[in-house]
Amino acid sequence: MTLLFLILISRIYFVQVVEGAKYFELAKKRWSAAEEIVAKRGTIADRDGNVLAMDTITYNVSVNPKVINEEGLTEDIIDGLHEILGISKEELRKNVTAKKEDGTYVVNREMRKGGWQIDKTVADKIRAFREELSKEKKVTGVGIDLAESLKRYYPRKTSAAQLVGYLDRDGAAMTGIEASFNKQLTGTNGFIKYEKDGKRVQLAEGEVEFQPAKNGQNVNLTIDSEIQHYVEEALQEIVKEYAPKSATAIAADPNTMEILAMANTPQYDPNEFWKNNSNSYNHAIKSLYEPGSTFKIVTLAAAVEEGVFNPDEMYKSGQIKIKGIPRPIRDIKREGWGTISFLDGLKYSSNVAFVKLGYERLGEQKLRDYYTNFGFGQKTGIQLGSELSGSIRFQYASEIANATFGQGVSVTPIQQVAAVAAVANGGKLLQPQIVKSITDPTTKTTKTIEPKVVRQVISEETSRKVGEYLEQVVSDQDKGTGKNAYIEGYRVAGKTGTAQKVINNEYSATKFVVSFIGYAPVDNPKIVVYIVVDEPNDPLVGGGKVAAPAFKQIVLKSLRKMGVAPNYPTDTNDLKKEVSITVPELTKLQVAQAKAELKAKGMTFELVGNGKTVLQQIPAGGSSAHPTQKIYLITEQREKLAIPDLKGVSLRDALEITSLIGIRLIPDGEGFVVSQKEETLNNVRVLKVTLAPPLSKDGEQDAADQGSDSEAAIKEGDSDDPQTDESGGAGSAAGKGEGEAADSNANTNATGE
């Protein structure tokens, strides 16, 4: 007995003293618990805060084969999950009957294929099935578990999908902003460690170690969701009519190079990226095209800057012989247009004119310098990965001559937009910006991305002149290849392009890339848009027929959305049906519903009052109006109304609005309201407005007949006069774009329009 006690005491001493620390740590691990706190990935939103990508709660399904088979629920579980999740019964059976190497059933099997990151609605169905099965079989557990997790969700689905990018099933950033800004968007997971009792309840006085999760930063893009919608809508119309291999469009603010929209077709839904993953390719920065005649804008800018372009100088069109080149370079119209001016050569998109300007007058070195300064052959620096540089072949005389009109040149759409924006904004090449700001939710600090000037490439005077020349490519309805982009009331500059595709190292006579690029208004550019269409199904159509109408649609809606007033009034007696619009009847509708109808029509509006129902509208429902006409929605009685912004409104509309509000209008000048000021005169509230006539097509104030109209409006207050709508107009795209059809018999030097 003594020996036994000595042994026990020795053992106790050994365990408690000699190896006490070791066993204490083992015990501590047993009563300690640790949980990971998952950080949220930052959101991606447009410039107005509309969310494009976000984390949302999702559910992962797992099964317990041991419980399922012990309770005899195998077939019930297979049938139920097959119906809810759509997983094949073979796959379900493999998971539900999974065994270890020793032949016993496993206790947990994740349903990675089909049961991972499911939505709440599906999870609710599984819960209901689990509860019903438990009651039916009278068991406490049926072996189906649901665990919460976070999933990346894209609420706008296909909209801006190639730009935003996506995460794969494992949460890895694959493309777009998701990949380029993965470091900023990714958060840092936290954890909590605590001590628990035998029932896994946290000890009140136990040790606690806590590290909070740090959520990812939120990225706001420069994208405007409404303009993005206009662009995607226009591309879908092109796809519907011409079934191209792909179509890409970019809209940007030329003064900052903030990207307002970037879209590609075919589209894909990043929520279901596995269905058409190949469509996630962003052609805007990753595809190279021969630009064709849109590249002539750069050659023209260089020629004007160097003083070698005289718009009135005459030359012989049709073809031109270059020393060392066996075959002549021809215009798209093989016989040419006779002896014409260089300005007409621009309108007709004559290759010969640009060979003379670029190859003969500017020469190789100056051409190379200008093309380089405009950003070609190098990355633009846009904050997106996998951008290509493109190239310009300048080794032989033929390559130099061809480059002047866009052949033998490979560019990305984003390079084209940056270059033409420089022509539009006064000569400054800017780095394209796709991110407007980045906000850290932890520190509440926001970093704003400012416009970045790369270099001055041409003078402001050259920029102005080139804009005026390009405007005539659009406005001249007889000669201009860009006439289908004409918007009545606005000054629009632009250029068409049609380039033969290289197939098996030879230029194809049946496959083309057609495009249009332009900006508006010419005197104060607010938007530049480029549309490129790869292989439309009709080989005889050019950029003027395929891309120019889409450009017109996008720009007109965007200018209306921006509230940009027309440059000059249109002839309301000759307002073409194509550009008139019927004002919807909105009276008695809820404000939200009225706003939705106007947005669907692309019409601008202003709410007058804070009511929830439209009591009256100006202009009246059912009346015809110019698309740029602002619609005023009156939502309160006159005694409660505030004075709305009347800038850009005609005198007659201003009279009607102020009459409704119950305030006296005192006008000064003629035309449209340019400023307003509320004052008190003899204890009576009055509104003084200054009016000015809009610019005419020649850029001068057009005050014809304004005086008599203004006087009549003041005396009669007749708001029903159809002549009172002088807010501008939009023109029809007449004609079919003569000279645009590709000549299938042209030699390999023929390109464009």
Model pTM above 0.85: no
Tokens of 110: 């994740």
| Tens digits of residue pLDDT in 276-328 | 778 899 999 999 999 999 999 999 999 999 999 999 999 999 999 988 788 89
Q: Other C-beta atoms within 10 Å of 650: how many?
A: 26
Which class in CATH covers the domain with range 579-724? Answer: alpha beta
| Tens digits of residue pLDDT in 232-288 | 999 999 999 999 999 999 999 999 999 999 999 999 999 988 887 788 999 999 999
HSE-CB of 211 using CA atoms within 13 angstroms: 11
The pLDDT of residue 47 is 93
Nearest alpha carbon to residue 526 among 247, 296, 224: 224
Q: Report how far residue 263's alpha carbon sits from residue 248's, in angstroms, rounded to the nearest whole number.
A: 6
The H or E element spanning position 230 is helix 225-242
The H or E element spanning position 509 is strand 506-520
293 flagged as catalytic:
yes
Q: Contact 622/636 with Cβ under 8 angstroms?
A: no
pLDDT band for position 15 (cuts 50, 70, 90):
confident
Tokens of 146: 């649901």
Residue 731, pLDDT > 90, answer no
Residue 574, pLDDT > 60, answer no
Q: How far apart are the first and last CA of the chain?
A: 113
| Tens digits of residue pLDDT in 480-527 | 999 999 998 899 999 999 998 888 888 888 899 999 999 999 999 999
Residue 360, pLDDT > 50, answer yes
Residue 683, pLDDT > 70, answer yes
Catalytic-labelled residue, pool 62, 280, 287, 293: 293
Nearby residues of 744 by Cβ (< 8 Å), 6 or more positions away: 509, 510, 539
Which class in CATH covers the domain with range 225-562? Answer: alpha beta
Nearest alpha carbon to residue 724 among 660, 654, 668, 647: 654
pLDDT band for position 638 (cuts 50, 70, 90):
low
Three-state SS at 337: coil
Residue 570, pLDDT > 80, answer no
Going by the DSSP 8-state scheme, the letter that residue 392 receives in this structure is: E
Tokens of 103: 């032949």
The pLDDT of residue 471 is 95
Q: Report how far residue 498's alpha carbon sits from residue 352's, in angstroms, rounded to the nearest whole number.
A: 16
State the Rg of the chain over Cα: 34
CA dist list (Å): 367 to 308, 371, 376, 425: 13, 6, 12, 21
pLDDT band for position 395 (cuts 50, 70, 90):
confident
Residue 175, pLDDT > 70, answer yes
Nearest alpha carbon to residue 263 among 488, 414, 43, 388: 414
In b/e form, how buried is each residue of 432-444, taking b as 16+ CB within 10 angstroms?
A: bbbbbbbbbeeee
| Tens digits of residue pLDDT in 688-730 | 888 877 654 444 444 433 333 333 333 333 333 333 333 333 3
Nearest alpha carbon to residue 234 among 552, 599, 576: 552
Nearest alpha carbon to residue 695 among 687, 683, 704, 684: 704
- Region of 504 please: left (phi>0), alpha (psi -120 to 50) or beta: left
